[in-house]
Chains A and B, each alone.
Chain A
Amino acid sequence: MRSLFKFELYKIFTQKSVWITFLIIFIGLPLLMMFSSSQSIGVTKEHTKAAYEKLEGDLSKERITKLQEELNEMDVSSSTSEEFSYRVTLMKIISEYDAKERINEKKIALEQEMQNISNASGAKYEQLTLEHSMLEKINFNETTYSEGPLGIIAFLGVGTIFTGILLIIGLSTIFSNEATTGMNQILLSSKHGRKKVTSAKLFAAVVYVTFIIGIQFIINIGINTMLYTSQGWSSPIHKLDIFRDSPYAFNLLEYFSVQMMLHTLFALGFAMLILLISSLSKTSVKSIIISSILFILPLILSSFRISGLEDFIRYSYYNMMKVDEFFRFFEVFHIFGTPVLEPIAASIVFTIISIVFTLLLYPIINRKQVS
């Protein structure tokens, strides 16, 4: 089994297409990140850091009022890069305070709603209690420089596309290539060519997924830390625009840990789907095309905002691997009357689906015929 696993790993990692894509992405990616960091119009990372050093502190009403006054008094016509960076930082901090206020307003609204509900043990009441208790835990009382962690977290927007491409290129041919090369005749007529080889391919796919994510992790952390420093991991996720209405009381480090865990989980799930498609495809081209459509289609459709397709897009592998959509708003599923948070429910459901895909591989390969 161990030697079969090594051979399967060797087969994945000796595909020229994998290495070409690796090189394009992992040489191009750091260059792109460094290039884009120096190209933000008017705002430089050095001046932003300097502005935060002056402005970081508590997000109290009194302080924000002063900052607002300072912003209003600023001369917007003559603006050096330093002044522009300072002004943008001021606006960011004020908007952070707005987010904090929105959280407080939401808590009050929930409390009123809870009071209006007569049945204090109903599902709706439980849902409101859950959301309220989550909002209670959010600690967004001060602001600090967090550009490094923010960049690291935001990376997955593009990183997910890289993961998807590398998974499709590396794994789509894992079974279908045996048919394309004619090797399936030898494999399927050999002692371990059905069950054990399937397990070996599965383990090799898991290692490949981990490798891809690991490499991206290193590049992401390395480049962002180098560009922006690693300060600010303890800031709440609400510093990021997309999480302004999030009920989750994560700091950036906690969110990044969850993000990587879920990204890996859903990437593994997508890998299992690719393997399943590969096992059912007679040619590698067919397998690559089907897997690519399943990954890219929701991404394309999301830009058209077609009604009725929201759930299809929301629970697509691309969207789930990106993770952030699950943590933007309070979303629950009621399972046996108990509200379960969407990320938890989605993780459980997709883990089950992935296990089913994995288990399906065995009977498919076991019954495979060569005609």
Chain B
Amino acid sequence: MKLKVENVSKQFKDKLAVSNVSFDLTEGVYGFLGANGAGKTTLMRMLVTLLKPSSGRILFNGKDIDVLDEKYRDVIGYLPQYIGLYKNFTAEKYLMYIASLKGIEKEKAMKKVDELLEVVNLSEHRKRKVGKYSGGMKQRIGIAQALLNDPKVLIVDEPTAGLDPKERIRFRNLLSSISKDRIVLLSTHIVSDIEFIAKEIIVIKAGQLIHKDHPESLLDKIKDKVWTVTVDENEVPKFQAAFKVGNIVRQNDGVGLRIIAEDRPDARAIQAAPNLEDLYLYYFDQEEMIK
């Protein structure tokens, strides 16, 4: 199974949101990293047929998804960044409606709805109107709808936003377990969501593909650029102004800073092993990052 993005660009009036991006996806989880406005959502929308590329094409198993039309939409599951809901529908009715949209027969749909409500821990609230759900519950019902048709291609945009840590771990494990025989593309700001489950990470900046590689290989690219240093509290602003500063930890002997810099930022600094947060910081602005 292969999803191929071939020289895809998307132009919105005077803004080039995605510029000549190409990559291939096969079975496994792919993490999609990029700052706000980098073009992640636009690219994902093109992958789920919500947007048509201005140029280039997307192929599923060698066939243009535009030509495949319904046949392609039959194999995809999509969780948008902001999940749409009908406030007066109960969770059960909502999922049954989505099942109809996905062409799932009633009997099969009922079983699948039961199963997924269990998976997303909403069985107890199945008869409650989704308009009365909390943000996290809405996100979980969104995850359930995306999985209803056992999609071969699952595309999820910021799926863990609004979930508590326990639910985040639960969802991460779920994705990891189902990714064996399907393509999962996961966009997030929360780098820990993809740190351990992503087969590859796709880094996109200003609409362009910067990297697509295994996490280890990407981390290897910044292995000499991560530093830790313990400084006096009044020195912190000076470091923040001069470098990309990640973690700031108050310690007994001062303040511990994690700095991303090409060269040693201070004589006291020592090199540290990079992680995905460092990678994110290296490519994107500090304020975009959420731990």
Taking a contact as CB atoms closer than 8 A, the residue among A7, A14, A186 that contacts B80 in the complex is: A186
A242 to chain B, nearest CB (A): 44
Tell whether, in the assembled complex, residue B51 and residue A191 are in contact, meaning their CB atoms are under 8 Å apart.
no
Q: How far apart are the CA atoms of A182 and B82 in the complex, in Å? A: 7
Tell whether, in the assembled complex, residue B51 and residue A190 are in contact, meaning their CB atoms are under 8 Å apart.
no
The reply to whether the CB of A187 lies closer than 8 angstroms to some CB of chain B is: yes
The reply to whether the CB of B223 lies closer than 8 angstroms to some CB of chain A is: no
* Chain B residues near A7 (CB-CB < 8 A): 96-97, 100
Tell whether, in the assembled complex, residue B76 and residue A189 are in contact, meaning their CB atoms are under 8 Å apart.
yes
* Chain A residues near B97 (CB-CB < 8 A): 7
The reply to whether the CB of B23 lies closer than 8 angstroms to some CB of chain A is: no
The reply to whether the CB of B106 lies closer than 8 angstroms to some CB of chain A is: yes
> Interface with A: B42-50, B231-239, B273-281, which one?
B42-50
* Chain A residues near B98 (CB-CB < 8 A): 186, 190
* Chain A residues near B50 (CB-CB < 8 A): 185, 188-189, 369-370
Tell whether, in the assembled complex, residue A190 and residue B102 are in contact, meaning their CB atoms are under 8 Å apart.
yes
Binary interface encoding of chain B residues 45-78 relative to chain A, with 1 for a CB under 8 A from any of its CBs, else 0: 1001111100000000000000000100110101
The reply to whether the CB of B101 lies closer than 8 angstroms to some CB of chain A is: yes
Tell whether, in the assembled complex, residue B48 and residue A371 are in contact, meaning their CB atoms are under 8 Å apart.
no
Binary interface encoding of chain A residues 328-371 relative to chain B, with 1 for a CB under 8 A from any of its CBs, else 0: 00000000000000000000000000000000000000000111
Tell whether, in the assembled complex, residue A186 and residue B73 are in contact, meaning their CB atoms are under 8 Å apart.
no
Give residues 24-49 of B contacting A (CB, 8 Å).
45, 48-49
Q: Of all chain B residues, which has the CB nearest A14?
A: B88
Q: Of all chain A residues, which has the CB nearest B75?
A: A191
Tell whether, in the assembled complex, residue B82 and residue A197 are in contact, meaning their CB atoms are under 8 Å apart.
no
Q: What's the interface size class on B, roughly? A: 20 to 34
Q: How far apart are the CA atoms of A186 and B80 in the complex, in Å? A: 8
Q: How far apart are the CA atoms of A370 and B84 in the complex, in Å? A: 13
The reply to whether the CB of A77 lies closer than 8 angstroms to some CB of chain B is: no
Binary interface encoding of chain A residues 1-33 relative to chain B, with 1 for a CB under 8 A from any of its CBs, else 0: 001100100010010000000000000000000
Q: Of all chain B residues, which has the CB nearest A187?
A: B101
Taking a contact as CB atoms closer than 8 A, the residue among B73, B83, B87 that contacts A191 in the complex is: B73
* Chain A residues near B70 (CB-CB < 8 A): 191-192, 194-195
B236 to chain A, nearest CB (A): 41
Tell whether, in the assembled complex, residue B100 and residue A192 are in contact, meaning their CB atoms are under 8 Å apart.
yes
Q: How far apart are the CA atoms of A200 and B85 in the complex, in Å? A: 19
Tell whether, in the assembled complex, residue A193 and residue B73 are in contact, meaning their CB atoms are under 8 Å apart.
yes
The reply to whether the CB of A178 lies closer than 8 angstroms to some CB of chain B is: yes
The reply to whether the CB of B196 lies closer than 8 angstroms to some CB of chain A is: no
The reply to whether the CB of A181 lies closer than 8 angstroms to some CB of chain B is: yes
**A contact residues, total (Cβ < 8 Å):** 25
Tell whether, in the assembled complex, residue A3 and residue B51 are in contact, meaning their CB atoms are under 8 Å apart.
no
Tell whether, in the assembled complex, residue A190 and residue B82 are in contact, meaning their CB atoms are under 8 Å apart.
no
* Chain A residues near B100 (CB-CB < 8 A): 3-4, 7, 192
Tell whether, in the assembled complex, residue A188 and residue B74 are in contact, meaning their CB atoms are under 8 Å apart.
no
* Chain A residues near B88 (CB-CB < 8 A): 14
Give the most central of B51, B74, B82, B103: most A CB within 10 Å: B103
Tell whether, in the assembled complex, residue A11 and residue B86 are in contact, meaning their CB atoms are under 8 Å apart.
yes
Taking a contact as CB atoms closer than 8 A, the residue among B12, B84, B102 that contacts A183 in the complex is: B84
Q: Of all chain B residues, which has the CB nearest A195?
A: B70
Give residues 98-148 of B contacting A (CB, 8 Å).
98, 100-103, 106, 145
Q: How far apart are the CA atoms of A173 and B88 in the complex, in Å? A: 15
* Chain B residues near A182 (CB-CB < 8 A): 80, 82-85
Taking a contact as CB atoms closer than 8 A, the residue among B73, B87, B103 that contacts A189 in the complex is: B73
B219 to chain A, nearest CB (A): 33
* Chain B residues near A188 (CB-CB < 8 A): 49-50
Q: Of all chain B residues, which has the CB nearest A5?
A: B100
B54 to chain A, nearest CB (A): 11
B87 to chain A, nearest CB (A): 8
* Chain B residues near A191 (CB-CB < 8 A): 70, 73-74, 101-103, 149
* Chain B residues near A284 (CB-CB < 8 A): none
Tell whether, in the assembled complex, residue B101 and residue A193 are in contact, meaning their CB atoms are under 8 Å apart.
yes
Q: Of all chain A residues, which has the CB nearest B46?
A: A369
Q: How far apart are the CA atoms of A182 and B139 in the complex, in Å? A: 13
Tell whether, in the assembled complex, residue B86 and residue A192 are in contact, meaning their CB atoms are under 8 Å apart.
no
Can you report 28 residue pairs joining A to B where beta carbons are below 8 Å apart? A4-B100, A7-B97, A181-B85, A181-B87, A182-B80, A182-B84, A183-B85, A185-B45, A185-B80, A185-B84, A186-B78, A186-B80, A186-B101, A186-B145, A188-B49, A189-B49, A189-B50, A189-B76, A190-B73, A190-B98, A191-B102, A191-B103, A191-B149, A192-B101, A192-B103, A193-B101, A371-B12, A371-B51
Chain A residues proximal to chain B, CB less than 8 Å: 3-4, 7, 11, 14, 178, 181-195, 197, 369-371
Chain B residues proximal to chain A, CB less than 8 Å: 12, 45, 48-52, 70, 73-74, 76, 78, 80, 82-88, 96-98, 100-103, 106, 145, 149
Known pairs A190-B102, A191-B74; list 6 more (Cβ under 8 Å): A7-B96, A14-B88, A183-B86, A189-B73, A370-B51, A371-B51
Instruction: Across the A-B interface, give the 5 residue pairs with the lowest CB-CB distance, nearest first.
Output: A182-B84, A183-B84, A190-B101, A189-B48, A185-B80
